Chains A and B, each alone.
Chain A
Amino acid sequence: MSKSIVDHRYFIWAILALPSIPMIGALASGQPGPNGMPMTEMLLHPTGEFSARFLIIAMMLTPLRMLFPGSGFLRWLMKRRRYFGVAAFFYALFHTVLYIVDMGSLRAILGEFLALGIWTGWLAMVVFVPLTITSTDDAIRRLGPRWKTLQRTVYIVAVATLLHWIFVHNNFGPALVHFVPLAGLEIYRVLHNFRKRSTRPQAA
């Protein structure tokens, strides 16, 4: 009974949507944040952060499974990896809409477009769109082997997101706290694959 709830599609959606509930509540209240900070500006940070977190989780799963192949929890997550990616996209979209509303004019948006901390965010968002559109079962079938090649552009999203986060605040700390674990696992994955490849000729 409880297992069927946990395995239901709506369960994972509910978990992924959970952080947006207080955000939407705060926005709907119409009240400003502390020090009179407009809510559109105040929510920029948490929306961006949850987008990055879900993106990082989705990307960490494959190397984590190399480390812990027996983990049932990781297998459970792996089956739902696309949901994490789609959630990351929707938090990023929420983030972008808040930014546009908060800026209030196209002139203001274009006026800072070329700042390193800004165009990297737009780049991540643009590359993210086709990844999300092709996250359906139908798209996987239609694209065949090209699906994986397309989805690998998620690395562009990750690097652009990392740069956006660092340079929009001119601060390395919080961005690195989030991305170092992923980078560590990617290094492990590369070393692991390299070792496997270098032992293969001897076996043959």
Chain B
Amino acid sequence: MRTAGLALALAAGSAGTLSAQAMRPFTTFRQLHGESRLQARLDFAAGQLRVVPGRAGELYRMSLSYDADRFVPLSHYDPSTNAATLGVDRAGGGFRVVSRSQLQQDAVVELSPRTDLSLSLSLGAVEADVELGGLRLSDLRVEAGASRTALHFSQPNPIRCRTADISAGAAEISVLQLGNSHCDRLRVEGGIGRMTLDFGGTWTSSQVAELSLAVTELRLRLPRKVGVRITMDRFLASFEPAGLVRRGDEWVSPDYDRSERHLDIALRTTVGAVKVNWTD
């Protein structure tokens, strides 16, 4: 009985100890010295991340507040390849359970709007808000674990983006204004979660999207001004065509053949739901 009382007291008192978490500010930046391209890799294990276009005179900048007991900051640049690695990584190996206090880490990463950017995001238990509008994005790769991620292309990409690869685990991902991304090819792999793909924005060329999803609720926001064709392979998945017309094995928008620019979507989904909304 005494032992039980002691255990009870310890368990009850532990909350106070856990909540007194020590955060450590860390800042890193690099001046722009005429670099024309940047390969940026952002590894963020846990916390909140915001990515925005940076200052004119800087290649990158990261302002981070991290849990010094469990994480270490990542900041490395290789001038020979113009490759920068930024973020936080777990201190030491082993299995760790992410607590709410660890999620209080936050980082703001600014990337140069003057250099061609190859961006790779690796997100763990992260709530990420990534503004890619205004950046010269040449390609994009996103690996999201148990995260809630929003990718915005609020301004048109000044250059052509080759590919955007998005791979999500148990995540909620929104990609907004994909028309501004000017990516030739979009590849998305989704695990369990919810995904919103908004193809609005300024279209300058046609796009191809390959979507492979499992146990995912997919919401497609399609622009009326673009001809849309969806080739679908689905198993135990619902589909609300909402204005698309069936043509053989495909679903197409009524003015697909007359449209100047096309969005061709190859969708493979297993157990889930696909909903279509139209935007002007």
Q: A and B, one complex?
A: no
Binding site for A on B (CB under 8 A): none
Binding site for B on A (CB under 8 A): none
